[in-house]
Structure 1
Amino acid sequence: MPGHEFFTALTVAEALRGFRPGRRSAVEIVPLDAALHRVPAAPVTTPAPLPGFARATVDGFAVRAADTFGVSEGLPGYLDVIGAVRMGATPTTGVRPGTAVAIPTGGALPPGADAVVMVEYTQEAMPGTIEVVRPAAPGDGLVRADEDVPAGAELVPAGRPLRAQDLGLLAAAGVRELAVHARPAVAIISTGDEVVPATTTALRPGQVRDATAVALAGLVADAGGAPDPRGIVPDDAGLLDEALRAAMKTCDLAVVSAGSSVGARDETAGVVAGLGPPGIFCHGLAIRPGKPTLLAECDGVPVIGLPGNPLSALVVFRLVGVPVLRRIGGCLRPPPEPRTRARLARQVPSAAGRLDVVQVRLDDGVAEPIFGHSALLSVLAAADGYVLVPEAATGLAAGAEVEVVLYQ
């Protein structure tokens, strides 16, 4: 990855296009019942077709379609019922010209049959004989042996998190375990002399509880990662260097909150620059909130430096950190975020050249912007989602229709 001048702000799109670490989490084998939301390391194919046998999709009678041609309510056809299919058993009676075999939904199609007539289109003419009042075409009322999945076909692709329906398809194919990427281990390091553990009961003047770390851990877990909180490091370059080097030995991604703003007490950029090549990719994004964001790759381990304000840190990690995390975890086809359309309740000002992330509350199709300082977590907690104001825009008008990315 090419280097960039210190604090040269890139757009979020430029950062995501250019910052593409090659690291991938390890591959491990997991049982199918533990594979939900895991990312397959390779496509999974089926050696045999599904469902594996032709079967009925309706309750009725297995027939030769040719024996029903031309029948109608006024001119029914008559067939002798010579047997019945039992669920879960191989049919023992074949269908011959002029005959039918009773079959339930899901039953295996007996030899000689090429269609199933719904029971609603038949009635008993006499014991052992039915009359058919609607014709059937070959293939009606059944699925072929390979209609669900042909032999050798891909069941699930690599790089897309597994959904519940994917697990069902894999189970139907007899897959009991599969190779997936391990959840990327993400070291979460908080910095600052003023930051104290979230469990601190009483704060002294100037102290703040570490609210960012626990929220970041939640975002990491939601994105398929394994959060590894490393505690709080004071504003000391040597201690931060030690903490980051320790994290790089065991983790796939290191995230530092606070200490990435340009200032005399901020040590992150200087420390990261010395951790190994290729080093800092960018320090500064054209985004509000979240401009003082640092992206780097050091000896094969990506490092993200987040702003100190909790709202800024969480906003920028959602937009930039989560895609990086998913890429490390082999997720090349992330699930789409839930979205909805709404009308803006009031004007949203912005400045051209930066991406503005505006928190909104939804009420009956109306998006009410929530404004507040980037240090205020209550803004995020009150929001139902956010609206992006593109770099080229100078604001959004009241009443404008916008797309709201929803929080889950």
Structure 2
Amino acid sequence: MTGKEFFSVRTVADALAGFRPGHRTAVEVVSLFDALHRVPAEEVRAPTALPGFAKSTVDGFAVRAADTYGASDGLPSYLDLLGAVRMGAAPEVAVRSGGAVAMPTGGVLPDGADAVVMVEYTAETMPGTIEVTRPVAPGGGLVRADEDVAAGAPLVAAGRPLRAPDLGMLAAAGVTSVAVHARPRVAIISTGDEVVPPSTVDLAAGQVRDATASALAGLVVDAGGAPVIAGIVGDEPGALKDRLTEVLADADLVVVSAGSSVGARDETAGAVAAVGSVWCHGLAIKPGKPTLLADCGGIPLLGLPGNPLSALVVFGQVGVPLLWRLSGCETPPPAPSTRARLARDLASAAGRLDVVQVRLRDGVAEPVFGPSALLSVLTRADGYLVVPEPATGLDAGSDVEVILYR
């Protein structure tokens, strides 16, 4: 290993906290039907209160709560039935003392009422009269006109990806479009004389089909980005620099899958240094130490190891947070996870983040080991666990968090 190969090794925590190119994607306006998981560029506030009117949350009768105090099965309160409220229409009758109005769930509360008693606690003893066998407090059985959200209150925050309930809240408020950050364009460059397109039918000795680019494109889509496959660049001097210059003009993030040899990695580092400022060359992560981060005029560049497993692990730990940040989201949404019991001891080194693939069986996490050149290590795994940087390992039987693959 030469000093040229790893000249500024950083921890993953340092990379996530300190590598902060200023570029953000442009802002565009999209309809709610295209807004799921997009990141709002600005806060959206409610133009009016929601639901906008006091309404019943139960089938029953609108009453004055005081008229029900002391009511019981043995001593019910008797109230005059004054009329009924129809769904989708304003009440045509008000509630007076000693009276009640029949209510459907969601109906507009009539004037004079301050509660709705559930139909289960009533009975119509004679035409025009109901008895109430259970008291109701003021506000019971209804929601206020501004109980969902007050006029002018935030509906959705800037910088947090929109979820399905957010879209429903916007629609309820009459907001049918929202300004969001554009999906980051991620240029994916593969390098190496040995790498050939996946469509290659017959491989010559030493050749490998480009599996990493397709897998990276899937991770980009999963994180809300738009992958751009920028092709394969051979190891001839100057070729990668020329390709980087081309793609940087129209990319929000550039990802380079470097060759596996020391010479290929050095060629990548030199090409990147010619078009930007290298922030680190080497991350304290296993697998994936030969990782490069650079700022190319505000556009981040991520140089990945050549081995597919290492490349995909590093992109998940560093590339995905970068993608979300480019979209205006500083805190990526958490991935689905579960708790499990570790099946065996795991050794680690203090100061290094270890990402371990695991299979899950009946609440037990069984590590999946194999060379970082093998994609099957990932395809056999249900998820992964992380041995944190300060730790020197995990003991068998430890309770661990497993990040699940979707």
C-alpha distance in 2, partners of 1:83/1:393?
71
1:119 aligns with 2:119: yes
Q: Is the 8 A contact 1:39 1:180 kept in 2?
A: yes
Q: What CA deviation, in whole Å up to 9, does each residue of 1:225-268 have, x standing for no partner?
A: 11011110111232211111111111101000014864367411
Q: Which residue in 2 is equivalent to 1:54?
A: 54
Q: What CA deviation, in whole Å up to 9, does each residue of 1:97-123 have, x standing for no partner?
A: 111110100000011111001111110
C-alpha distance in 2, partners of 1:292/1:106?
61
Superposed, 1:371-390 pairs within 5 Å as: 371-390=369-388
C-alpha distance in 1, partners of 2:98/2:177?
47
With structure 2 as the length reference, what TM-score do the two structures score? 0.96
C-alpha distance in 2, partners of 1:265/1:134?
78
With structure 1 as the length reference, what TM-score do the two structures score? 0.96
Q: Which residue in 2 is equivalent to 1:157?
A: 157
Q: Is the 8 A contact 1:260 1:306 kept in 2?
A: no
- The gaps in structure 2 that reach 5 residues or longer are none
Q: Which residue in 2 is equivalent to 1:275?
A: 275
C-alpha distance in 2, partners of 1:23/1:265?
26
Cα distance, 1:5 vs structure 2: 10
Cα distance, 1:77 vs structure 2: 1.1
C-alpha distance in 2, partners of 1:112/1:237?
84
C-alpha distance in 2, partners of 1:164/1:291?
38
Residue identity in the other structure for 2:132: V
Q: Which residue in 1 is equivalent to 2:131?
A: 131
SS of residue in 1 equivalent to 2:66: helix
Cα distance, 1:352 vs structure 2: 2.7
SS of residue in 1 equivalent to 2:249: helix
User: Which has the larger displacement, 256-265 or 53-62?
Assistant: 256-265
Measured at CA, do residues 285 and 149 of structure 1 come closer, stay the same or move farther in structure 2, by a change above 3 Å? same
C-alpha distance in 2, partners of 1:79/1:381?
68
SS of residue in 1 equivalent to 2:278: strand
Q: Is the 8 A contact 2:181 2:327 kept in 1?
A: yes
Cα distance, 1:199 vs structure 2: 1.3
2:323 to 319, 322, 325: 325
- The total of aligned residue pairs comes to 403
Q: Is the 8 A contact 1:5 1:282 kept in 2?
A: no
SS of residue in 1 equivalent to 2:89: coil
- The gaps in structure 1 that reach 5 residues or longer are none
Measured at CA, do residues 174 and 195 of structure 1 come closer, stay the same or move farther in structure 2, by a change above 3 Å? same
Measured at CA, do residues 72 and 90 of structure 1 come closer, stay the same or move farther in structure 2, by a change above 3 Å? same
Identity across the alignment (%): 72
C-alpha distance in 2, partners of 1:380/1:357?
11
C-alpha distance in 2, partners of 1:174/1:271?
51
Cα distance, 1:324 vs structure 2: 0.8
1:174 aligns with 2:182: no
Measured at CA, do residues 335 and 264 of structure 1 come closer, stay the same or move farther in structure 2, by a change above 3 Å? closer
- Computed over aligned residues only, the root mean square deviation of the Cα atoms, in angstroms, reads 1.5
1:365 aligns with 2:341: no
C-alpha distance in 1, partners of 2:16/2:100?
63
C-alpha distance in 2, partners of 1:264/1:341?
40
C-alpha distance in 2, partners of 1:231/1:188?
7
C-alpha distance in 1, partners of 2:323/2:261?
22
1:342 aligns with 2:377: no
1:290 to 277, 288, 291: 288
SS of residue in 1 equivalent to 2:271: helix
Cα distance, 1:125 vs structure 2: 1.4
Residue identity in the other structure for 2:342: L
Q: Which residue in 1 is equivalent to 2:93?
A: 93
Cα distance, 1:9 vs structure 2: 1.2
Q: Is the 8 A contact 1:311 1:377 kept in 2?
A: yes
